[in-house]
Amino acid sequence: MTESESKPAGKKEKKDQPVEEFRGMVKRAPVRRKPAEPVSTEKTDNKVIKMLDKNPLGMTLPEMAGGPRKIGRIRTLRPMLAAAIKQGLVMPVSQRSGHTVYRLVKHITNR
């Protein structure tokens, strides 16, 4: 028997290295990312400001509540949003699917 007949096809042997065959994806270490931190370090009990701080693109009131059918949650968030607007922390910027989009003033920049 010759060398080509005794070795299976597709496997090549390099000098001083064992034969390895990978099937599928190559294993790698998991990517470790630090968790997203809110931009401000101030403590606030206003849930609207906390949500808008995590989302710089802005949110509508139904998005903050978790959906347009969460009427009870929308009713609890509406006075918090009104208080934030009066304090000058939040501004209405545009509309998305018929609802007003609110953004934090510190996230509003010239583009």
> Does the CA dihedral 58-61-65-69 come out positive or negative?
negative
The verdict on pTM exceeding 0.85 is no
Count of structural domains within the chain: 1
Whether residue 102 lies inside any domain: the answer is yes
Q: Which pLDDT does position 10 carry in this prediction?
A: 57
Whether residue 35 lies inside any domain: the answer is no
Kindly report each contact of residues 68-77 with a partner whose C-beta sits within 8 Å and lies 24 or more positions away, as own/partner: 77/47, 77/48
Whether residue 52 lies inside any domain: the answer is yes
Q: Which domain holds residue 105?
A: 48-111
Q: Which pLDDT does position 21 carry in this prediction?
A: 59
Whether residue 70 lies inside any domain: the answer is yes
Does pLDDT of 111 surpass 70? Answer: no
What is the tens place of the pLDDT at every residue in 46-95?
A: 899 999 999 889 999 999 999 999 999 999 999 999 999 999 999 999 99
Q: Which pLDDT does position 103 carry in this prediction?
A: 94
Average pLDDT over the chain, rounded to an integer = 79
Residue 29 one-letter amino acid = A
Those residues with Cβ within 8 angstroms of residue 43's Cβ, 6 or more apart along the chain or in another chain: none
